[in-house]
Structure 1
Amino acid sequence: MSKVVELIPPKLRPRVLGAGLHAAFALPRPLRRLIAGAPLRLDGQELSLDAQLLLAMQKLTGSTRLSADTPELAREQMTQSSGIVNRAPLTGVAVGERSIPTPNGELAARLYRPQELTEHSPLLVFFHGGGWVIGDLDSHDDLCRYFAKTAGVRVLSVDYRLAPEARFPAAFDDALAAFRYAVDKAGELGTRPDLIAVGGDSAGGNLAAAVSYHTTRQAERAPAFQLLMYPAVDASVRRRSRELFGDGLLLTDGDMTWFLDQYTGPALDRTDLRLSVLLAEDLSGLPPAHVVTVGFDPLRDEGEEYARRLAEAGVPVVARRFDDLIHGFGNLRQAGTRFNEALSEIAGTLRAGLSLNTPTK
């Protein structure tokens, strides 16, 4: 099948493959099961049919990993994948391009607002996933639109610098600068300093957690809430979930090794708390958190250990494992119903968490 894909002109490939993907997801359940294969069960969990079907379709195209021979190729692959999954942009959301000044130059950003929202509202400063190497404003455009519309909040998506061109701690520095910018410009962004949250998926979850920890420990304005979707929070240890779910489930063990090598280089001490916040001795006083993990994910165990550590430190935490899903499902909303269901629940928790600081009328 991958040979057939190569015959499709590159410009038409996302459209053609996207049509095939969405046609497969529209088939009756027995036919979807036939394509997906027998149910996959690991560690007492069963993978959802939607996730298994997507992996089967991915295998047919010959694309089975997020890493690549070069960062440029990996970025191109992610752009194509986004074009395959996502169709029309979600309506009902006003979108504006912005620029964030930092000590290391201007960062592109994108501000999302539900069209009916005219008064001040909570704001989510969002950091995209992609192993600190891939991903951009466009790759997570659908997810940010969805959170804005469904949670009823503004979302500021940040295009931080990527590795290996800008290695650790560049992404962290940019994330911290972006949060500080949001606090300083709260009124201009349609919010208040005490209504600003941080969030992200995977590497973006890592950045959100690190910003939350750093601002709290520096006694500066900290986020009102942190949304951590399948976050990477400890680069120093390979846990059991890296072994169990390290192959064939979108994010692989090899991908994580490659991403970390690109981000940190081989010589960096990976216990640095700006990278491995799970290793902090004291997590008390951090912002309330929603920690989302998924069952079939190499990063599952470190995310769940972080949620436990936060709770033990007295931080209000909603820890939620979607045990039938895979890493990266936040970018798959337009593919399958199960992904929508999970994101709807996350958006509801985000809305509830941010409403704690919102005054009643």
Structure 2
Amino acid sequence: MLALPKPVKRAIAGPPVRRDGQQLDLDIQLLLRLLTPRRPQPVPPPEQMRAGQSFVDRVVAGPEEPGVRREDRTVPGAVADLRARLYVPPPGPDVVDGALLVYVHGGGFVAGDLDTHDELCATLAAESGARVLSVDYRLAPEHPFPAAVDDCLAAFAHVTAHPVEFGAAPGRIAVGGDSAGASLALTVARETSRDGADPAGRPVFCLAFFPVTALDGHTRSRELFGDGFLLTGEAIEAMAGWYVPEAMRDDPRLRIAEGDLSGMPPAYVATAGFDPLRDEGEHLVTRMREAGVPATLRRHPDLVHGFATSLGIGVRPRQAVAEAAGALRTAFALLGAT
């Protein structure tokens, strides 16, 4: 259907969707038309949500990135080894020597795995020239907070302590993620950058796609886009309830935009115009800048939450991911020049 002429796609998708001074990308609108149920549906249980995300991500992932080598690995987590996958970019002049991005998948802390984010990680490796290590972690509700945070901290600590094992050089390791994974990546960046933390265990850069920064957020974007744009307000509330026990909701590790952010590494944050999480991600960038952290914000006004794993939908998601990969490449280049 995406290969149909534009007038035909418009006829199927319906009139342009405009909200908050933005117009939704036609191919994304067509996808939403196909995926959105005609009648409101209750939030599915975790297992059904995982199966649904796995199915959708396979459909929209796009063609396989040529030339990227994949190596299945394990890394230590907080209580047991975690699955991991190393992506090695094709050899050539574009390769950034010694550079590694430790990537944490999204999925609302409940769903997602190495396979749902396989093509995204391969594309990041190919476009940035850096190696990418995708790391799994324990999911809620079977393993509620802080299990995911503990796993990501343990995995990142192992990678920075053994960079050669992953083809990286000391001091050339970044961290990144999307949605819940972006939240976890940002938490790793903040926790490892606190006073007294080992400098060798800090990321040099943070890449965040549409991060969740407040589980109980009440923003304008949540009101505007909390229904009909893939990620719903009901789903956010359900996943937050599965992930965090009520008694732990005030834990500072869950409130990334609050507290002292000074000392965090430079960051690139990409948001989507039609995403209920848009405003909290952009507020985080404001807070980082106020703390003296070099932070770049890129809003993609025509996209929705989850665009980073929708590389087979038209051209805009792939353009957005390529832009983020370029920011990562530039960050490593500037690091090498210092």
1:93 corresponds to: 68
Report the AA paired with residue 219 of structure 1.
A
Percent of pairs identical after alignment?
47
Give the match's secondary structure for 2:158. helix
Question: For the residues of structure 1 that align with 2:280 and 2:104, how far apart are their CA atoms?
Answer: 19
Aligned to 1:327: 305
**Residues in 1 aligned to 2:264 and 2:4: alpha-carbon distance in whole angstroms:** 46
Q: Secondary structure of 2:247's match?
A: coil
One-letter amino acid of the counterpart of residue 285, structure 1: G
Distance 1:253 1:126 in 2: 26
**Map of 2:295 onto structure 1:** 317
Q: Structure 2: any 5+ residue segments left out of the alignment?
A: none
Q: 2:154 aligns with which of 177, 181, 184?
A: 177
In 1, Cα distance between the equivalents of 2:43 and 2:301?
Answer: 28
Cα offset for 1:205? 0.5
Query: Taking structure 1 as reference, are residues 63 and 133 closer, same or farther at Cα in structure 2, changes over 3 Å only?
Result: farther
Q: Which amino acid in 2 is paired with 1:271?
A: D
The aligned counterpart of 2:231 is: 251
SS at match of 2:103: strand
Provide the rounded CA distance (Å) in 1 between the counterparts of 2:117 and 2:154.
20
The answer as to whether partners of 1:124 and 1:196 remain within 8 angstroms in 2 is yes
1:145 and 2:145 are equivalent in the alignment: no
What is the aligned counterpart of 2:181 among 196, 204, 218?
204
Contact 1:64/1:250 (CA < 8 Å) preserved in 2?
no
**Which structure 2 residues correspond to residues 226-265 of structure 1 after superposition, within 5 A?**
226-265=206-245
Partner of 1:356: 334
Aligned partners of 1:236 and 1:271 also within 8 Å: no
Contact 1:240–1:301 under 8 Å retained in 2: yes
Residue 193 of structure 2 corresponds to which residue in structure 1?
216
Q: Residue type matched to 2:89 in 1?
A: P
Say if 2:10 is the partner of 1:42: no
2:102 matched to 1:122?
A: no
The letter of the residue matching 1:343 is: V
**Which among 85, 97, 100 is matched to residue 110 of structure 1?**
85
| CA RMSD across the alignment | 1.8
Alpha carbons 1:122, 1:358 under 8 Å: kept: no
Task: Report what 1:279 is aligned to.
Answer: 258
Equivalent residue letter for 1:358 = G
- CA–CA distance in structure 2, aligned partners of residues 120 and 87 of structure 1: 28
CA distance in 2, matches of 1:347, 1:57: 29
What do residues 36-84 of structure 1 show as CA deviations (whole Å, max 9, x unaligned)?
Answer: 1101111111111121111112137x7988x843111111111111222
What is the TM-score when the length of structure 2 is the normalising length? 0.94
**Would you say the 8 A contact 1:234–1:279 is kept in 2?**
no
Shift of 1:88: 4.1
Against the structure 1 CA distance between its residues 339 and 88, is the aligned structure 2 distance closer, same or farther, given a 3 Å change threshold? closer
Match for residue 315 of structure 2? 337
Residue 33 (structure 1) aligned with residue 13 (structure 2): no
- Residues 236/194 of structure 1: CA separation in 2 closer, same or farther (3 Å cut): same
CA deviations 1:227-254 (Å, max 9, x no partner) are: 0110011224321111110001010101
Q: CA deviation at 1:120?
A: 3.6
Residues 210, 273 of structure 1: 8 Å contact kept: no
1:298 and 2:276 are equivalent in the alignment:
yes
Counterpart AA for 2:233: D
Per-residue deviation, 1:89 = 2.3
Which 4+ stretches in 1 moved above 3 angstroms? 62-65, 117-120
Alpha-carbon distance in structure 1 between the residues aligned to 2:277 and 2:140: 20
- What residue number does 1:269 align with? 248
- Does the 8 A contact of 1:41 with 1:47 survive in 2? yes
Query: How many correspondences in the alignment?
Result: 333
Q: Could you report, residue by residue, the CA deviation over 1:178-217 in whole angstroms, capped at 9, with x for unpaired residues?
A: 1111101101211122110000000000001101110011
